[in-house]
Amino acid sequence: MAKQTQPPIIAFAPHAWDDRWLSRQQLLTRMGARGWPVLYSYGPLSLWDRGGHLWNSAPWLGRFKQQDNVWLDQPGRWPPRWPKHPAWDRWAQRRHMARMASLFPDQRDDLTLMLFHPRFWPYVERLKPRRVLYHVYDVYSAMDQWNSELEQWQRQLVQRADLITTSSPAMAAHLPGDGPQRARVLNNGADPAPFIAAQGCACPADLAAIPSPRIGYLGTVNSKLDLEMVLHVARTEPTWQWVFIGPVMLDGQSERDRAARGLWEQCRALPNVHVLGAKARDAAPAYVQHMDVNAICYRVSGDDWVAHGYPVKLHEYLAVGKPVVAGPQTVIVEEFSHVAATPSTPEAWRQALGEALEAGGVGTPELRRATALQNTWDQRVDQLEGWLVEASQK
């Protein structure tokens, strides 16, 4: 049984804790450090997970472990979800729901459920928590996987939530019902200290083998990248070295995924495109520090979900002080155009990167670092904690 001082929080999000380190880990680990008992789960395993890493590393029965100031749900292989058989699937979900509540038996009537996606709405219906927090980190309704069931669950979630937070104003504007009026903006932040401290550190060996100038991208290579732009710039400026730090995830089956795979194969065939793979979190600052320009090379098209995102990497880039060039996401254009260039076409990207390499880019190193220090995760958690205390007193 978990000890608690504040009302317990059970948080649900789509990814395993040790996957990419995103806003949910940054927020929850700090909440845990401040005395909030936190349990994090990505839900039960499914028969569809068989053969994958999560299934192969899972225990037979589910269990909990403590890590990074939170409790982590380690779902077991038994019982798995089985969507093809609805009765079994509902039973497996109910078993998982009951196990989540079992960690806090003495405060079963004082639970807060924090949902990072509407797919977890059934947990609200089953567990009947005292409080519900809905944190929106993307415009989910603009994504390929969106359907009528998720639409209904999001409407119910917005109606039920005691507190709605979004990573950007544009995300709030896309919520149903009175969501746009009730949502509070909780922008993404950064842990700038290790990135600032990386100034003067040794260049990692695999990066040192790549000549300058280096254009760096830290993050997952997926279909939201503007690979058409990367291909254009890499071909036009063969002495500029593109360096990708992160996993490659281009195995989707949508038309967008297939197009991205084709472009990525063309990029990889060029001698000035380098893929160094995923790195440990504590190794990332050295890589970002030893780039000449750091890029957020997202493809921004009209009113799609990428346009309204708030990239976590923005403030990490700013913390090292190097020039930043980014796709024209709404939040960067409206709030950070003083420290980042935001070109919108492949040729404009080439020009912006050239200006960054030759003249230092938009802003100064000092202004970039100062901006990062004004947008820390600790400051974001100060906001969130205040709102949660307010909600807990209702």
Would the CA dihedral through 285, 288, 294, 295 be positive or negative?
negative
Given the DSSP bridges, would you call strands 70-74 and 63-67 parallel, antiparallel or unpaired? antiparallel
Looking at 72-81, 160-169, 218-227, 305-314, which range is the least confident one? 305-314
For the cut 80, the answer to whether the pLDDT of residue 302 exceeds it is no
For the cut 90, the answer to whether the pLDDT of residue 269 exceeds it is yes
Element (H, E) at 40: strand 38-41
Cβ neighbours for 332, distance < 8 A, ≥ 6 positions apart: 296, 311, 314, 326, 340, 342
CA dist 388 and 164 (Å) reads 11
Instruction: Please answer whether residues 366 and 321 qualify as being in contact, where contact means their C-beta atoms are separated by less than 8 angstroms.
Output: yes
Mean pLDDT value of segment 81-86: 95
A 10 A CB-CB count for 150 gives 18
A 10 A CB-CB count for 132 gives 22
For residue 303, the model assigns a pLDDT of: 65
Share of the chain above pLDDT 90, in %: 87
For residue 243, the model assigns a pLDDT of: 99
| CA-wise closest residue to 332 among 358, 366, 371 | 371
For residue 354, the model assigns a pLDDT of: 98
> Which domains does the chain carry?
9-189+377-392 (3.40.50.11010), 192-373 (3.40.50.2000)
For the cut 60, the answer to whether the pLDDT of residue 271 exceeds it is yes
Given the DSSP bridges, would you call strands 293-296 and 324-326 parallel, antiparallel or unpaired? parallel
Long-range pairs of 196-199 with CB within 8 A, sequence gap ≥ 24: 196/319, 196/320, 196/369, 196/372, 197/285, 198/285, 198/286, 198/288, 198/289, 198/320, 199/289, 199/320, 199/321
For the cut 60, the answer to whether the pLDDT of residue 42 exceeds it is yes
The token duo for 180 is 């746009």
A 10 A CB-CB count for 104 gives 22
Mean pLDDT value of segment 210-222: 97
For residue 144, the model assigns a pLDDT of: 80
CA dist 351 and 225 (Å) reads 19
Instruction: Please answer whether residues 227 and 344 qualify as being in contact, where contact means their C-beta atoms are separated by less than 8 angstroms.
Output: no
**Residue 8 pLDDT grade (very low, low, confident, very high; cuts 50, 70, 90):** very high
Backbone angles phi, psi at 69, to 5 degrees: 75, 10
For the cut 70, the answer to whether the pLDDT of residue 35 exceeds it is yes
Mean pLDDT value of segment 324-342: 96
For the chain, percent helix, then strand, then coil, each to nearest 5?
45, 15, 40
In the three-class reduction of DSSP (H, G, I as helix; E, B as strand; rest coil), residue 41 is classed as: strand
A 10 A CB-CB count for 254 gives 11
Looking at 66-70, 161-165, 195-199, 214-218, which range is the least confident one? 195-199
Amino acid identity for residue 138 in this structure:
D
| CA-wise closest residue to 195 among 296, 95, 314 | 314
Structure confidence by residue, pLDDT tens digits, 97-141: 999 999 999 998 999 999 999 999 999 999 999 999 999 999 999
Looking at 52-61, 225-234, 246-255, 266-275, which range is the least confident one? 246-255
CA dist 203 and 225 (Å) reads 26
CA dist 271 and 88 (Å) reads 52
What is the model's pTM? 0.87
Q: Please give the full DSSP string across 145-182, using - where no structure is assigned.
A: T--HHHHHHHHHHHHH-SEEEESSHHHHHT-STTHHHH
Distance of CA 8 to the CA centre of its chain: 23
**Residue 391 pLDDT grade (very low, low, confident, very high; cuts 50, 70, 90):** confident
For the cut 60, the answer to whether the pLDDT of residue 4 exceeds it is no
A 10 A CB-CB count for 47 gives 16
Q: What rounded mean pLDDT belongs to the chain?
A: 94
Structure confidence by residue, pLDDT tens digits, 238-251: 999 999 999 999 88
**Residue 227 pLDDT grade (very low, low, confident, very high; cuts 50, 70, 90):** very high
Element (H, E) at 231: helix 227-236
Amino acid identity for residue 377 in this structure:
W
Q: Nearest-5° angle of CA 272, CA 277, CA 283?
A: 110
**Residue 1 pLDDT grade (very low, low, confident, very high; cuts 50, 70, 90):** very low
